[in-house]
Amino acid sequence: MTKTATRLRVVEVDNLKTACSTCSLQELCLPAGLNEAELKAVDELVNRRRPVKRSDYLFRAGTALHSLYAIRSGFLKSSVLHDDGREQVAGFHMMGDLMGMDAIGTSQHLCDAVALEDSEVCEIPLKDLEALSRDIPSLQQHFHRIMSREIARDYGVMLLLGSMRAEERLAAFLLNLSQRFAARGYSSLEFNLRMTREEIGSYLGLKLETVSRTLSGFQAQGLIAVQNKHLRILKIDALQELVSPHGCRG
Amino acid sequence: MTKTATRLRVVEVDNLKTACSTCSLQELCLPAGLNEAELKAVDELVNRRRPVKRSDYLFRAGTALHSLYAIRSGFLKSSVLHDDGREQVAGFHMMGDLMGMDAIGTSQHLCDAVALEDSEVCEIPLKDLEALSRDIPSLQQHFHRIMSREIARDYGVMLLLGSMRAEERLAAFLLNLSQRFAARGYSSLEFNLRMTREEIGSYLGLKLETVSRTLSGFQAQGLIAVQNKHLRILKIDALQELVSPHGCRG
DNA sequence: CCCGCGTTTTGACCCAGATCAAGCAGCCGT
DNA sequence: ACGGCTGCTTGATCTGGGTCAAAACGCGGG
C-alpha cells in the first residue's frame, strides 16, 4: 500500500497518548473488531493532534480541504456565512464528532469551524482515510455510517427549522444536547451551555431575545433551571412532551 | 463473495438500455476515466431498474435499507414526518440524483420518498457499492463526493430556513431549480414545477398561501411569469439580487 | 361534455416572534 | 477594586407570515 511514508515516523512516548487504540473516544470513533495490524494502521492515520484555542478557527469557509477532524475534547460550532453577513450556525460539535465532511464534494470548506472553548482535534488526511478504508471494510462502513448520520442529523434540523415553533425548537435542542452528553458519559440532566444565546438562536432560527425569553419561560414552568450558561433539566419528560405531544405516531 | 449471483443474470437485449455505459446520466452519476472492465462491473452493480408511478413510495421511513437509488428519470420528493403528522419536505430530487443516503447510518430509512411524477430509478445495493468502491478508487471518491454534496446542500437549506425571509427563500428555491435543470440540459428559464404549492411551502418552511402570494408578488414585479405549474423566469438577475443583495462579500 | 375534487388565488384578520430599548450581571485585564 | 465590555434579561411595540374563509380554476373520470 501507499502509506509507507508514515512508517518512518518514530513512535515517541508522547504518541502513546495519541494512539487511537488507547483513546477514550474509541467506541465513538473507531469501528469495533479491528485486529492488531489494523489498529496500528489507524493509529498512524490519525497521528497528528492539534489544539484549537477558544474562538480560533479550525478551518474557514473557502479554504482548501486537507483533512477531516475528529474532536478529542472541547466544543466547536460550524457556521455558514450568507453573502450579506448573516451567520447561520449549522451545528455544535463535541468530542467524538467528525468535522469537515461538507467539504469533500468541492475540496473546499463550505463553513467556518470555530472553537467555543479550548479544544483538541485529531487531524485525519482524507486521502489516507480513503486509502485505508479500501483495505479495512469495517472502517469504510464506519465512515459511510458517520457521513450518513450527518445527513440524517441535517434532516432533523430541517424538520426543526421548517416546522416547529420556538418552544418546540428549544426543547428539542436541549434534549439533543442532553442525549449527546449522556452518550459521552456525562450527566444528561446538568451541563453547561458552551454557546451564547445568540448562537443558540442562530442554530434554531430564532433571535437571541426569543431564546432568552423561552428559557425563562421553561424555568417559570419548572421544566429547567438556568443560570447563565449552567443548565439543569428538571422535567425531562415534560420537555419531551413539548417536542412530540403525547406519543402519537401509530 | 455474494455477487456471483448476479453473474447468472443473462444479458438480454433490453439490458443494453440499462447499462450505465450507455446511459445519458453518465456524467452525472459515474466517475470519469473508468476502463472497460470497471465499466462492466459498474453496469452489473446497477442492473436493476425500477419504475415508480406518480404518488407511489420509492421507500418509506422506518423500513430497512436495501439499496440506494439513482434517479434515471422523473421527479421525487423526500420528506420527514414529525410525530404529530406534520410533514417536512427535505428535498426534491431529479434525474442523476442519488437517494437513500440518510439511511446508511442506521440501516433504516429516515424519510419517505414519493414520486411526484412517473419516474424510473436504478437500484444500487449498498453492500455491492461498498465492495466495488474498494476496488475502484475513483468510484469510492465519487461516492464520497456525492454524500458530501448532500451534506453541503443540507447546510444551504439550513441557511435558507434559519435566516432568510419568505421572498429570499422562494427566490433561492427558483434559482436552485433553474440551475439544476440547466445542469441537465433543460431550459434554465422555463420549466414546470412538479410539486404543489404546499410541498414548496413545506420545503421552505412557509405556508402554501405565502408561497402563492409571494409568487404572485414576483409576477407583479415582472420577475417571473407563472401559470399554474408552468414557470418562466423573466429577470434572473433580479431574483439573484433578492437572495444576495448587490454582490457583497468582499 | 359536465361533474366533482384537489389545487390555487386572494382577501381580512391575528399572533408568534422580531425589533427596539433599557438596564443588569459576569468577567476580563489592569 | 474597578472600569469597560460582552452577554443576558425583560418590557413595549411592530410586523411578516400564519390562519381562516371563500371563490375560481383546472383536470381526470364517468
Query: What pLDDT band is residue B18 in, cutting at 50, 70 and 90?
Result: low
For residue B48, the model assigns a pLDDT of: 87
- pLDDT(B37) > 70: yes
What is the residue range of A68's domain?
3-158
Which nucleotide lies nearest residue B210, CA to C1'?
D17
Q: How many CB atoms lie within 10 A of CB B27?
A: 11
Shared domain check, B143 and B177: no
Measured CA A228 to C1' D7 distance, in angstroms: 9
Sheet holding B230-233, edge to edge: B190-192, B230-233, B224-227
For residue A31, the model assigns a pLDDT of: 84
Shared domain check, B74 and B23: yes
**Is A141 in Cβ contact with B137 (below 8 Å)?**
no
Shared domain check, A204 and A116: no
A contact residues 76-95, partner B, Cβ 8 Å cutoff:
80-90
B112: in domain: yes
Residue owning grid cell 419561560: A217
A contact residues 177-216, partner B, Cβ 8 Å cutoff:
202-205
For residue A10, the model assigns a pLDDT of: 44
For residue A32, the model assigns a pLDDT of: 83
Shared domain check, B90 and B75: yes
A81-108 CB burial, b ≥16 within 10 A, e <16: bbeeeebbbbbbbbbbbbbbbbbbbeee
Shared domain check, A57 and A31: yes
Q: Each residue of B113-164: pLDDT tens digit?
A: 999 999 999 999 999 999 999 999 999 999 999 999 999 999 999 999 999 9
Of B133, B137, B161, the CB nearest to A158: B161
**Is B162 in Cβ contact with A203 (below 8 Å)?**
yes
CA quadruple B28, B154, A105, B147: dihedral positive or negative? negative
Domain containing B31 — which CATH number?
A: 2.60.120.10
**Strands B112-125 and B48-52, bridge-based pairing:** antiparallel
- pLDDT(B83) > 90: no
**Is A152 in Cβ contact with B202 (below 8 Å)?**
no
Q: Choose among B72, B132, B62, B118: nearest CA to B99.
A: B72
Q: Each residue of B42-60: pLDDT tens digit?
A: 998 887 899 999 999 999 9
Domain containing B191 — which CATH number?
A: 1.10.10.10
Measured CA A190 to C1' D12 distance, in angstroms: 34
User: DSSP secondary structure string, A19-51?
Assistant: -GGG-TTHHHHS-S---HHHHHHHHHHT-EEEE
> Which positions of chain C lie under 7 Å from any protein Cβ?
7-12, 16-21, 26-27
**Is B137 in Cβ contact with A130 (below 8 Å)?**
yes
**Average pLDDT, stretch B220-248?**
92
Shared domain check, B234 and B117: no
For residue B10, the model assigns a pLDDT of: 44
A contact residues 145-174, partner B, Cβ 8 Å cutoff:
145-152, 154-159, 161-164
CA angle B160, B199, B170 (to 5 degrees): 35
CA distance to partner chain B, nearest, from residue A98 (Å) = 13
Domain total of chain A: 2
Cβ atoms of B152 and B196 within 8 Å: the answer is: no
CA distance B235 to B225: 10
Tell me the Cα Rg of chain B: 20
Shared domain check, B106 and B176: no
For residue A164, the model assigns a pLDDT of: 98
CA distance B243 to B181: 19
For residue B17, the model assigns a pLDDT of: 56
Which region among A106-115, B10-19, B193-202, B224-233 has the lowest average model confidence (pLDDT)? B10-19
Mean pLDDT, 10 residues at a time, over chain A (250 residues)? 44 56 81 88 89 95 97 96 92 97 98 96 96 95 96 98 98 98 96 98 98 98 97 98 72
CA distance to partner chain A, nearest, from residue B231 (Å) = 24
Shared domain check, B14 and B71: yes
B250: in domain: no
